[in-house]
Amino acid sequence: MNMNLELINRALFAIGQAPITKADINADNTSYEICKSYYLSTFLEALSEVEWVGGRKRDRLVRTGRPVIKNEKYLYSYDVPYDCAKPIELQDNEYFIVEDRLILTDDPEAELLYVSNGKALRPIAVVTMELGENPGNEYLTAGQPWTVPDITLYPGKPSDINAEGELPEDPAPVSDYPDYIALDYEPKFFEYIEKKLAAKLAVKLSEQPKLHMQLLQEALLVKQEAIDASRSSKAAKIKEDPWWSDELGLG
C-alpha cells in the first residue's frame, strides 16, 4: 500500500505547509518522513473507530490455540483475524465480546463480519533439497502477529551465500507499506483521514494549538456522519418480526 500523496498535500495545505514533492520523497526529508509515519498510524486508527462500509470481510473464525485464561461466561474463544481493524457482528447476530485479541462467544462455529485493514501475510519461499535431487519449494507465512518463531528463515538459496558466509540483503520494498494491501474504502473514510491527519500535523509541524482543535472538530464531524451512515446501512438490513395477524393470514 502506498501513501495517498494528494490527501497528504491537502492536509499540509490546511495547516499552511508546503506540499510534498517527488524531490522530497527521493531525499527522504523530515517533512516527508513525518507524513509517512503519521499516515499509517492515522489510517489504522480511523479504521478501528467506525464500522466503515468499504473494506468489509466475512471470515470463519478459528478457535485459539494460545494458552489463555478461560472466561467462564463464554464457551468458545476465537482468534481475532490478523487483518481485523474493527469487529462488526457474528452471523445471526450472536453475542460476543473482544478481549486480548480474542472473540469470546457461545457460538460453536463463529463467522465474523469485520472491517479489514488490508494487513497481508507475505509468503516466504523456503528451499529444501537432498543431494542429487532438484530443490523443491515450500511456502510459509509469518503467522499471527504474536507468533513466536521456532526457527529463523532467510531469503534466497544456499548458492546465494557468499565466500564470507553472509546472506544477501532483503530486497527493497516496492511500496510505502509492504505489509498492507490497499482496499476499496468509501470517500468518507479518506475525508476523515485527511482531517485527522491535518489535526496531528498541525501540532507537529505548525505548532498552532487552535488550528489543531479546529481541524480535530472538523474530523469528528466527518466521523459522526460516517457513523450515522453505517447505522442506516445496518438498520436497512434488519428484518422486522411479522405481526401475529399476518402469520395467521388475517392481515
Write the pLDDT tens digit of every residue in 105-162.
999 999 999 999 999 876 554 444 444 444 444 445 555 555 555 555 555 555 665 6
Q: How many domains does the chain have?
A: 3
Which residues, in sequence order, are CB contacts of 57 under 8 Å at separation 6+?
81, 83, 113, 114, 115, 116
Asked if the structure places residue 71 within a domain, the reply is yes
Q: What is the pLDDT of residue 239?
A: 45
Closest CA to 55 of 144, 179, 180: 180
- Answer whether residue 95 is part of any domain: yes
Do residues 63 and 77 touch, judged by C-beta distance below 8 A? yes
Quick one: pLDDT at residue 132? Answer: 45
Is position 219 within any domain?
A: yes
Residue found by looking up cell 474504502 in the block: 185
Domain range for 86 is 56-116
Specify the pTM: 0.72
- Residue spans of the chain under pLDDT 70: 122-173, 233-251
Res 156: pLDDT? 56
What pLDDT is attached to residue 237? 45
Are 34 and 61 part of one and the same domain?
no
Helix, strand or coil for residue 173?
coil
Asked if 96 and 59 touch (Cβ cutoff 8 Å), the reply is no
* Residue 230, domain member (yes or no): yes
Task: Provide Rg for the chain, Cα atoms.
Answer: 24
**Helix H or strand E encompassing 127:** strand 124-128
Classify residue 109: in a domain, yes or no: yes
| One domain, residues 61 and 112 | yes
- Which pLDDT value is given to residue 42? 96
Tell me, yes or no, whether 198 lies in a domain.
Answer: yes
Instruction: Give the span between the Cα atoms of 42 and 49, in whole angstroms.
Output: 11
Residue 101 lies in a domain: yes
User: Would you state the pLDDT for residue 206?
Assistant: 83
C-alpha to C-alpha distance for 108 and 91, rounded to whole angstroms: 11
Asked, for residue 184, whether it belongs to a domain, the answer is no
